[in-house]
Structure 1
């Protein structure tokens, strides 16, 4: 089952919001800050990545690498957006682009849990859509039943007669013993 354009855009928007929310929350909890324009750029990046994969149901094997990759991209984007002075003043938890072990574990754990959550949501959504489509077809069959077709008279060509030789054309087939034997027994 493939999705329509509006459905694809809605699914991509949900993925982008979840992905961006996870990244911003992890970045803020790690001691960083995220500016509004950087969040908007991150949302567009996540939306673009999700829109490419939103055509049909995706499993955990597709969602997890996509979500983890977007976490890396968004982490680098957020880290590049900080001014060097802000890092020293805030005592930022990680140095430059390389995250510390704690942030790496936090990103990986959150990405794994969110990917499981999104995969289960995908399965539930597509299952619901399939059941709704089946029920809609049943309702339409009740409301608009198939027209009853009257049987059509089929005209068949007459069956050709059996081919016989001219000598046998006037022969009368009979059952039983030959006529001469019947006369012999009757005397």
Structure 2
């Protein structure tokens, strides 16, 4: 399947949206800032990393390491692009984003987010490919027998008997119900 097929592009775009959205929300939730420049760098980078893997069904074994690596790269990108000062001697951020260093809480939060999101994406992949397999089977059946079935009207068991006209009202209904008819005076 070529890299520009609509299905591959859509799958890579969905992965990019989930990965970048998770990174941005987690970064903002932890008190960091995300600059438009960081988004402009992160979006094509994540898309470029996801596109080669969008050719076939991805399992949790493929999604989890890719998402973890991209989340770490996005975290570093967002931390370095936030408006803060860096102490050149120690390499630590002095102001702005307080969670730029790999603290235990940050690692646990990223780990849980990556695992849960990977499980969610793997289930979505499995559902998509199950749907595509069912669709392929259905299309193969249609291609094998392209003529739709022709339904002929049922033949009468006694073709020589005349059809008996039936009244419009069903046999089981009572047609005398309702208000009485007005009597017309005879002239």
Question: Partners in 2 of 1:14 and 1:120 — Cα distance?
Answer: 14
Q: CA deviation at 1:85?
A: 4.8
Sort the Cα spacing of 1:73 and 1:89 in 2 relative to 1 into closer, same or farther, 3 A: closer
Runs of 4+, deviation exceeding 3 Å: 85-90
Question: Which residue of structure 1 aligns with residue 181 of structure 2?
Answer: none
User: Which of 94, 98, 104 is the matching residue for 1:93?
Assistant: 98
Larger radius of gyration: 1
Give SS of 1:58's match.
coil
Question: Which residue of structure 1 aligns with residue 133 of structure 2?
Answer: 130
TM-score (norm 2): 0.69
| Stretches of structure 2 lacking an aligned partner (at least 5 in a row) | 87-92, 149-187
| Stretches of structure 1 lacking an aligned partner (at least 5 in a row) | 146-187
Question: Partners in 1 of 2:85 and 2:61 — Cα distance?
Answer: 40
Question: Partners in 2 of 1:24 and 1:67 — Cα distance?
Answer: 14
Post-superposition CA distance 1:45-65 (Å, at most 9, x none): 110110011110011001000
1:81 aligns with 2:86: no
Give SS of 1:54's match.
helix
Q: CA RMSD in A?
A: 2.1
Question: Partners in 2 of 1:100 and 1:29 — Cα distance?
Answer: 15
Q: CA deviation at 1:142?
A: 2.4
TM-score (norm 1): 0.69
Sort the Cα spacing of 1:111 and 1:3 in 2 relative to 1 into closer, same or farther, 3 A: farther
User: Which of 105, 108, 124 is the matching residue for 2:108?
Assistant: 105
- Structure possessing the higher relative contact order (Cα contacts under 8 Å, 6 or more residues apart): 1
Question: Partners in 2 of 1:103 and 1:34 — Cα distance?
Answer: 17
1:13–1:47: 8 Å Cα contact kept in structure 2? yes
1:60–1:119: 8 Å Cα contact kept in structure 2? yes
User: How many pairs were matched up?
Assistant: 141
